Amino acid sequence: MTDDRPVLLETRGSSLHIVLNRPRAINALTHTMVRLLDEALTGAEQDRTVTSVVLTGAGDRGLCAGGDIRALHDDTRAGGRASLGFWRDEYRLNARIARFPKPYVALMDGIVMGGGVGVSAHGSLRVVTERSRVAMPETGIGFVPDVGGTHLLAAAPGELGTHLALTGRSAGAADALLCGLADHYVPTLRLPELTEAVAAATTADEVAQAVRGSAEEPPAGELAAQRDWIDACYAADTVEEIVRRLHDSAAPAAAGAAAELSGRSPLALKVTLAALRRAARLDSLEAVLDQEFRVSGRVREEPDFVEGVRARIIDKDGSPQWKPATLAEVDDSVVARFFAPLGPGEQELGLAPGTADGTT
């Protein structure tokens, strides 16, 4: 009989295996799943017999395609506040994963997007395979990278993170390793061997050695050979200048990136660039998550998120009507408002010292 619980737990040797179990939705995260993950980590942290945690996804399509976008869309469209509760708990979980005191092994096989990055790429041992496609595709639906994604992408070499964040492109195994989104490449066929070795490990060092022992050199990626034009174009201070440089570049791939940006939400592009630049100056993941919580809350107040989900996911007509429709119409003061402290009656996330009262 099929187990329909959204999160499955199984102890294997000294390892707690956590399985995201919504395969028909590529294991997209619901609020219930976030809470169950947090409870599982509490149990694993307190259980002295558990040496490590291993995160996987059910089915053969991917670890996790992100948050339950349809639910977030419906709540936002109805003017509800459930989305804020979801993000609050999700971002706290992301921070907890990053600071988890035992090895946290994330098997990032297949699709790993949005919220899937949040529950995997902050782990201590992050494994990609030949099937991995790691992405923060939020600008395509009028949203902004969150779950600590701006922290990760801001730390990528050169302007690779800016390129991935604005275009929403996915990174294969080698590119995920290059950008610091993963640590090791293990072919899919060797994952059972890896999980058995981790289950047999009784110390953190043995867990790390078990992962390294299964790792191989990944097939060549794409981004390393494109650093010249990516760094030159995306180092600009504005999205408008980035687009101009992409158009002027002699690299054929740059024109393709410019075309992709033309289909993204102008407001989301500008807020994303600002979020990345600000994240690079913040001193911790927690501070970035506090910033992302403010941004996500403000996104709810603009029409692009609801419209983007409608066009890309619900109606699937691929023709979102963005408001504003052009980069030139997005005023800098509107972008700045996304980063302002929350107003009266709005509780900050407050993960970093000094943010609970909005005094960052």
**Positions marked catalytic:** 67, 115, 138, 146
DSSP 8-state secondary structure symbol assigned to residue 216: B
Burial class for 345, CB neighbours closer than 10 Å (0-12, 13-18, 19+):
exposed
Contact criterion met (CB below 8 Å) for 114 and 66 = yes
Q: Is 350 helix (H, G, I), strand (E, B) or coil?
A: coil
Contact criterion met (CB below 8 Å) for 301 and 295 = no
Q: Is 277 helix (H, G, I), strand (E, B) or coil?
A: helix
Copy the structure tokens of residue 345.
């009656």
Q: Mind giving me the DSSP string for 279-321? A: HHHSSSHHHHHHHHHHHHHHHTTSSHHHHHHIIIIIS--S---
Q: How far apart are CA 334 and CA 215, in angstroms?
A: 46
